[in-house]
Amino acid sequence: MKRLLTMLAIMSIGGGAQVAFANDELQKLIDDPNQWAIQTGDYANLRYSKLDQINKDNVGKLQVAWTFSTGVLRGHEGSPLVIGDLMYVHTPFPNTVYALDLSKDGQIVWKYEPKQDPNVIPVMCCDTVNRGVAYADNKIFLHQADTTVVALDAKTGKVIWSVKNGDATKGETNTATVMPVKDKILVGISGGEFGVRGHVTAYSMADGKVLWRGYSMGPDSDTLIDPEKTTHLGKPVGKDSGLTTWEGDQWKIGGGTTWGWYSYDPEENLVYYGTGNPSTWNPTQRPGDNRWSMTIFARDVDTGMAKWLYQMTPHDEWDYDGVNEMILTEQQIDGKDRKLLTHFDRNGFGYTMDRVTGELLVAEKYDPTVNWATEVVMDPKSDKYGRPQVVAQYSTEQNGEDTNTTGVCPAALGTKDQQPAAYSPKTELFYVPTNHVCMDYEPFRVSYTAGQPYVGATLSMYPPKDSHGGMGNFIAWDNKEGKIKWSLPEPFSVWSGALATAGDVVFYGTLEGYLKAVDAATGKELYRFKTPSGVIGNVMTYAREGKQYVAVLSGVGGWAGIGLAAGLTNPTEGLGAVGGYSALSNYTALGGTLTVFKLPE
């Protein structure tokens, strides 16, 4: 708290009264556990609430307080926000936003219904999801599927400004939330399966003016990389690293999209995010390390300049997008206070880093079935430092085009995908919704046409052999040891975001539709409730008039649920997910509903 106050003080001197005010208000809301002011719970992406009225002793008595149907089918990711009396609920395409008055039994105060060209639907790789709105400066920020970024008056829903961040006719779309920081909002872009070159863009909160844009690849002027000062595992990256690690012009259609959850360290003034797969999925077509796809970026919020980078999966051969969230914690290692960044990568390794320097501290498998690499080289003196050691048998490049590489674990959707983990400072554990899925992967040559799929691989997905038979686990992870503390088997991938609370309870949702509450220390299941549809939303909590509520969007979909969401039945459709998750249709059907829980009176 002292640290925070100092930070705010600095800001109000440095940034001018107006700016300080905007951020000040949002930070206050974020710090107030009665609100849920940002999708990620806080800037550190902890998804931890200090509320403890609902706790491990009484959570078993939880009951449904009220429910709200969003009027939209297909996958509902993200969560509502709660700011004072208003709850903001968003939907997948068409990205309707509702403001509900919690003081009036959830009456609809306003509804924003963008008119979007439905042609955006077929160029969204992994369902028409949207991971939610952001709040700052009395505005609600929505980044629509068609990449329109819109600022709405938080009280009335009136459009204040709106800009286009991309071009959906070229396969540029959006699914991510908006990150409000200081006087800016930061937004990403999707389209790695369409050869979109990823970027993060900062817009002015006030009027939507572009402040900076940093690409994932290209010349340093595009990537906002300083060849001398920007480091990779402690070493300067050198000139045009986003060009020289590619053959020819492939970087121009090189992917590395930016559709994950961002985090922010106000003290360091750094924003953290990861980049997605290099395009195409056929690795033979893009020799080189393909920097900076599959990379953690730490960028200065004001300038966009990259301070440090870490590429987890150089020259990806499996679609292990590096976009998963960075969780920022302060923990002791060997008796020393460290500012850490913990990241559960699609590639199956859980990374612990020093978030100030970008030093790699831990890289361990968070699912024992991960087999595509034996380890990440941890010796700083090795020329392989920080690189995963690829197992030849599972190398889709070494096996070559038109060869089916079988039994690769994890599958393309990784040991974890967009579903965000939570962290409890009380247990110092990370609660991670995971996938327990393997794949066959057959790359093939593909040519680029703007707006057309640029995938170049055929996939099948299935549960690991000799495992518990299910396709998911919900685990507790020790990021200092790099060890699984406990693991709960789940029949399907846990595609919902977790919530940890001071009540020593951890919540998550399942693809069949359960909201589950487990003991933060032991993982023991304490409560379950079958919501209307499969849960791929993130659990959130808030309090009103002294009463704590827990809420989650259900509405099956996302990549895992794409078969149901898009009505596909051919097993290799949906980039291989349709077959893998076909049994989901025995449990749930589409439909977006918010379910709000409370303890009995």
Ligand X SMILES: O=C(O)c1cc(C(=O)O)c2c(n1)C(=O)C(=O)c1cc(C(=O)O)[nH]c1-2
- Mask for 59-98, x = binds a second copy (CB under 8 A): --x-xx-xxxxxxxx----------------------x-x
Task: Provide the minimum distance between the beta carbon of 126 and a second copy in the complex, in angstroms, as a whole number.
Answer: 19
SS3 552: strand
**Residue among 266, 532, 558, 571 that touches ligand X (CB under 6 A):** 558
Catalytic, out of 137, 146, 316, 319 = 319
Task: Provide the minimum distance between the beta carbon of 256 and ligand X in the complex, in angstroms, as a whole number.
Answer: 8
77 part of the interface to ligand X, by CB under 6 A: yes
Half-sphere exposure of 563 (CA within 13 A, CB side): 20
Give 214's strand partners: 200
For 140-165, b where at least 16 C-beta lie within 10 A, e where not — what string? bbbbbbbbbbbbbebeebeebbebeb
108 part of the interface to a second copy, by CB under 8 A: yes
58 part of the interface to a second copy, by CB under 8 A: no
Q: Interaction with a second copy in 125-154: which residues (CB under 8 A)?
A: none
Whether 319 sits among the annotated catalytic residues: the reply is yes
Q: Which of the listed partners (a second copy, ligand X, none) does 559 bind, with a CB threshold of 5 to 8 Å by partner kind?
A: ligand X
317 part of the interface to ligand X, by CB under 6 A: no
Task: Provide the minimum distance between the beta carbon of 69 and a second copy in the complex, in angstroms, as a whole number.
Answer: 3
The token duo for 143 is 């980044």
Cis peptide before 94 (omega within 30 of 0): yes
554 part of the interface to a second copy, by CB under 8 A: yes
- Mask for 471-510, x = binds ligand X (CB under 6 A): ----------------------------------------
Is 193 annotated as a binding-site member? yes
Is 148 annotated as a binding-site member? no
Angstrom distance (rounded) from CA 20 to CA 15: 6
Task: Provide the minimum distance between the beta carbon of 90 and ligand X in the complex, in angstroms, as a whole number.
Answer: 14
Angstrom distance (rounded) from CA 539 to CA 519: 15
270 part of the interface to a second copy, by CB under 8 A: no
**Residue among 132, 276, 283, 443 that touches ligand X (CB under 6 A):** 276
Q: Interaction with ligand X in 180-199: which residues (CB under 6 A)?
A: 190-193
Give whole-number Cα distances, 392 to 400, 407, 408, in Å: 11, 12, 11
DSSP result, 444-474: ------TTS----EEEEEEPPTTS-SSSEEE
Angstrom distance (rounded) from CA 383 to CA 398: 21
- Mask for 569-588, x = binds a second copy (CB under 8 A): ----------------xxxx
345 part of the interface to ligand X, by CB under 6 A: no
Is 481 annotated as a binding-site member? no
563 part of the interface to a second copy, by CB under 8 A: no
DSSP result, 392-429: GGG-HHHH-TT--EEEESS-TT-SS-S---EEETTTTE
Angstrom distance (rounded) from CA 564 to CA 583: 10
Give whole-number Cα distances, 572 to 440, 494, 577, in Å: 10, 21, 7
For the chain, what is the largest distance between any 2 Cα atoms, rounded to a whole number of angstroms? 66
The token duo for 212 is 């900076």
Q: Which residue has the tokens 């049994």?
A: 583
At 364, which helix (H) or strand (E)?
A: strand 360-365
Task: Provide the minimum distance between the beta carbon of 44 and ligand X in the complex, in angstroms, as a whole number.
Answer: 22
Q: Which of the listed partners (a second copy, ligand X, none) does 342 bind, with a CB threshold of 5 to 8 Å by partner kind?
A: none
Task: Provide the minimum distance between the beta carbon of 201 and ligand X in the complex, in angstroms, as a whole number.
Answer: 15
Q: Which of the listed partners (a second copy, ligand X, none) does 192 bind, with a CB threshold of 5 to 8 Å by partner kind?
A: ligand X
Is 569 annotated as a binding-site member? no
C-alpha torsion angle, residues 549, 324, 424, 45 (rounded to 10): -70
**How long, in residues, is the chain?**
601
- Closest CB to ligand X among residues 30, 560: 560
Task: Provide the minimum distance between the beta carbon of 564 and ligand X in the complex, in angstroms, as a whole number.
Answer: 12
The neighbour count for residue 544, using CB atoms within 10 Å, is: 16
Q: Which residue is nearest to ligand X (CB)?
A: 192
Q: Which of the listed partners (ligand X, a second copy, none) does 129 bind, with a CB threshold of 5 to 8 Å by partner kind?
A: ligand X
Angstrom distance (rounded) from CA 394 to CA 390: 8
- Closest CB to a second copy among residues 44, 590: 590
Q: Enumerate binding residues for ligand X (CB under 6 A).
A: 77, 125-127, 129, 175, 190-193, 257, 259, 276-277, 319, 321, 413, 417-418, 558-559
**Catalytic positions:** 319
> For binding to a second copy (CB under 8 A), which residues are involved?
61, 63-64, 66-73, 96, 98, 105-108, 111, 529-533, 554-555, 585-595, 600
What residue numbers does the annotated binding site for Ca(2+) cover?
193, 277, 319
